[in-house]
Amino acid sequence: MAAEKSQQYGGVMRRNRDKQPYLLKYRSSKLFILSTICMAVFTDIFLYGIIVPVIPFALSERASVAEKDIQKWVSVLLAVYGAALLAFSPISGWFADQSSSRRWPLVLGLIALGGATVMLCVGNSIALLLVGRALQGISAAVVWTVGLALLVDTVGQKGIGQAMGYVTVSMSVGILIAPLLGGVVYAHGGYYSVFAMAFALIGVDIFLRLVMIEKKVAAKWSITNQGGSYGTCADTQDAENAGGSAQDSEGSSQQASGQAGKNSHNASNVRSSAVEGSAPSLRETTRSAKKWKLPPIVTLLKSRRLLSALFGCLVQAALMTSFDSVLPLYVHRIFHWGATAAGLIFLPAVLPSFVSPVVGFLSDKYGPRWLATIGFILALPFWVLLRLVDHDSTGQKVLLCALLAFIGFSLTLAMPPLMAEITYVVEAKEKKYPGRFGPTGAYAQAYGLFNTAFAGGTLIGPVWSGFIEERAGWKTMSWTLGLLSGVMAVPIVIWTGGSIFKKETAEPEPRQEEITALDPGSA
C-alpha cells in the first residue's frame, strides 16, 4: 500500500515537473528575449548615468567631502566603476559559460545592481559610495557578457548583427536620457526621487528576467511533450538550433548506428581510407580537440581576427566617450550655453544610433568588413572639421550639430558589425576545431573580452580628449581623434571577416556514416 502511494506521488510529481510553463511560446520567443536583454542593457546604462549629476551633491552634502576635493573623488568613483567592469568581465564570461543557464547569472547581476543602488542611495560615507560604484561595475560586466551571449544562443549567427543593432539603440537611449532625467528629477524632486525612479526601473527588469525562458530550456519542454503544438517563436526549428536540437540528434544517431550496422564492411573501408589519406582525418581532429588544454579565453586571444575586432571596439568606445570631458565645457566657453543646452548638444551624436538595426541587418547580409571600415574612414574628415568651430554664431552652432551627427552616424556604421564579428569568430573557431571550447561554448567569454575592450575605451577616450584639449587646444584634439579613427580602419579591413590576403576555403563536412565509422562514440 505504501509502495502504491509512493508510486502515485512520484507520478504526480513527474507530471507536475513535465507540465509546460504558462505562455512558454511567448516567454521563450526571440522578441521577448531580445526585449529583455535590451531592457537589461538600458537599465545598466541608465542607472550608471542617472546618478552622474547627483554624485557631486552626494559627496558634498552626505559624505561631507570638502569642495576642493569633490572633483578628485568624482574621478575616483568613475575609475572604480571602470576597474570593476574591466576586472569582472572575463570572470563573468567564464562563469556564464560554465553555468547550465544564462538566466541565473543575469539574476545575480541584477542582485548586484540592486545592492549597488541601495548603497548609493543610503551612502553617507566615501566607503559606501565606493562599494556601490564597484557593485555597479560588476553588474554591468554580468549584463553585457551574459546578455550578449544569450542573444547569440537565441538568434544564431545569421541574425546577430541586427540583434546587436537593437542593443546599440538601447545603450544610446540610456546614454541620452539618463543624465538629463537625473538632473531634472534631482532639481525638482530631490535626492531620493532620483533613486525612486531607479528602483522602479529595477523592478521592471526583475520581472522580465524572471519571466524569460531560454530557448534551449524551452526546447526541452517541446521534446518532453513529444511533438505537441509548442513552438518557441515563428517555428520550433529556432528553438532546436538554440537548444541543441536533441530530437534531431537522437534521430540522426539512431540512423547512423543502423547504417553502420548494415554496412560494417563499408565503414572499415572509410576508416582505412581516412587514416591513409593525405587530408587530416576526423579521428585526428577529434583527438587534437580532446588533448587541447588551454582555456577558451587563451584560444580566443590568439586570433588576430578577434583582436582586431576588440581593438576596433576599444577605439569606437574611446571616440564615442571622448566628448564627455570636453564638449560641455567647450560649448559653454564658445557659445556661453548653460547646463541644459550643454547636455542637449549630445543629441545630434546619439540620434544616428537609431539606424543601428538597419546597419546590423546589412552586416548579416553582406558581412562586417566593409561597413566597419567605411565607418572609421568616414569619421576621419568630420573629426578634423571640428576645428572650424571656433566662435559664437548661428552658423557655427549649426555646423557643430551637423558634424556631431555625421560622426555619430560613422560610429554607428562600425559598432554593430564589430559586435557581431565576435560571434563570427567563435563560430569559425568551433567549426575549424570541433569541441575546442567544450560543451558550453565560449560566447560569454568572448563577449567578456568585448566588454573589457569597451570599458578600456570609455576610460581612454575622456582622458585622451581632455588631456590634449587642455594642453594643445580643441583643434589639435579633433585632428588626433580623426587620425585615430583613420588608422583603426587598417586592421579592420585586413582581418575583419577573416584575413583579406588569403581566401578561406570551407572544408567539406564529413557524412554521418563517416563520423560513426571513425568514432563510434560520437553517434
Whole-number Å distance between alpha carbons of 141 and 153: 18
Residue 87, amino acid: A
* The pLDDT of residue 491: 93
Phi, psi of 330 (to 5 degrees): -70, -45
User: How much of the chain exceeds pLDDT 90, in percent?
Assistant: 16
**pLDDT tens digits, residue range 237-251?**
444 444 444 344 444
pLDDT at 41: 87
Q: Provide the percentage of residues in the chain whose pLDDT is more than 70.
A: 76
Residue 449, C-beta contacts closer than 8 angstroms, at least 6 positions apart: 89, 90, 93, 297, 300, 301, 306, 310, 422
pLDDT at 433: 76
Does 381 score more than 90 pLDDT?
A: yes
Cα distance between residue 148 and residue 452, in whole Å? 14
Instruction: Please choose, from the candidates 168, 16, 193, 36, the residue with its C-alpha nearest in 3D space to the C-alpha of residue 103.
Output: 36
Distances (CA, A) of 162 to 27, 55, 142, 167: 21, 36, 22, 9
What does the pLDDT look like over 139-164, one tens digit per residue?
888 888 888 888 888 887 777 888 88
- State the Cα–Cα distance between residues 199 and 357, nearest whole angstrom: 29
pLDDT band with cut points at 50, 70 and 90 for residue 183: confident
Residue 49 has pLDDT above 60, yes or no: yes
Higher pLDDT pick, 420 / 12: 420
Q: How confident is the model at residue 386 (pLDDT cuts 50, 70, 90)?
A: very high
The terminus-to-terminus CA distance of the chain in angstroms comes to: 43
- Helix/strand/coil for 233: coil
What pLDDT, on the 0 to 100 scale, is given for residue 156? Answer: 75
Indicate the pTM of the whole model. 0.68
Nearest CA to 107 among 211, 30, 246? 211
Residue 122 has a pLDDT of 85
Q: pLDDT-based confidence at 68, cuts 50/70/90?
A: confident
d(CA 414, CA 408): 10
pLDDT for residue 333: 87
pLDDT at residue 490 greater than cutoff 80: yes
pLDDT surpasses 50 at 92 = yes
Q: In this predicted structure, which of 12-16, 179-183, 312-316, 493-497 has the lowest mean pLDDT?
A: 12-16
Q: Which of 230-234, 437-441, 510-514 has the lowest mean pLDDT?
A: 230-234
User: Residue 88: its pLDDT value, please?
Assistant: 85
The confidence score (pLDDT) of residue 261 equals 47
Per-residue model confidence (pLDDT) at position 209:
83
Residue 295 is given by DSSP the state -
286: confidence class by pLDDT, cuts 50, 70, 90: very low
Round to whole Å and give the CA distance between 523 and 519. Answer: 8
Which residues touch 160 (CB under 8 Å, ≥6 apart)? 151, 152, 360, 364, 419, 420, 423
The domains found in the chain, sorted by start residue, are: 23-218 (1.20.1250.20), 294-499 (1.20.1250.20)
pLDDT given for residue 503 in this prediction: 57
Looking at per-residue pLDDT, the higher value among 214 and 315 belongs to 315
Residues 429 and 309: beta-carbon distance below 8 Å: no
- Confidence band, pLDDT 50/70/90 cuts, at residue 293: low
Give yes or no for a contact between 412 and 359, defined as CB atoms under 8 angstroms apart.
yes
